[in-house]
Amino acid sequence: MDVCLQSCGFMHWSRNCYRQRRVRPVCILLGLCACAPRTLPLSPHGPPLRPPGHQGVLEVSISLSSGVDPLAVDGESLSLTGVADALADYVAVAGEPWAERNQGQRPGGWQLQIDVLRATARAEDDRLTVELEAQVTLRALSGRRHLAQTRAYCHRTEALDPDPRAAVHHCMQRLAHDVSGWLDGTSP
């Protein structure tokens, strides 16, 4: 009996399978079971960063120009979902103190548009490397007046185990911290 084995990205055929160029149902079944990507949500560890329904004076919106959601991890059969929501939470929490300190200068509040230009994750040698790059635009909510713009970037490498999401969360925290520092130097 010929058995064709398939694993993620690699096909091994017995001689007869190769010669006859046919795939046995066993091969297809093994391929589907072995290669189904694992999907993990990027929901924050522990309690939510912002209470549900929280509306601060800083509105954060995310767009994914070249970034992807879910974020596939190269080198692993893994995808991370909720990239945009998690990044919006981190940036909103980091930027809220600036917005509250300056609330009197813009009673209508602000919008922080985060355009994710690049989002990559790569697993190699039991380590996960994450890169995020974004364009950040600050606007007044009232009249949508453009106030300032910058780029934000983070790069983080951490152990893949026990939780591959940790590297992504730490990268997002770093990016949010940098955006917060930029806001501190920005005229409201």
β-strands 10-12, 71-74 pairing: unpaired
Give which of 92, 87, 94, 90 is closest to 119, Cα–Cα. 87
What pLDDT was estimated at residue 183?
A: 97
Paired tokens of 140: 């007044």
How many Cα atoms sit within 13 Å of 114 on the Cβ side? Answer: 31
Rounded distance, CA 71 to CA 24, Å?
A: 32
* Total residue count of the chain as it appears in this document: 188
Rounded distance, CA 81 to CA 119, Å?
A: 12
pTM, to two decimals: 0.76
Task: Name which residue leads in pLDDT, 22 or 173.
Answer: 173
Average pLDDT over residues 103-122: 92
What pLDDT was estimated at residue 52?
A: 55
* Structural domains in the chain plus CATH codes: 5-35 (no CATH), 38-184 (3.40.50.10610)
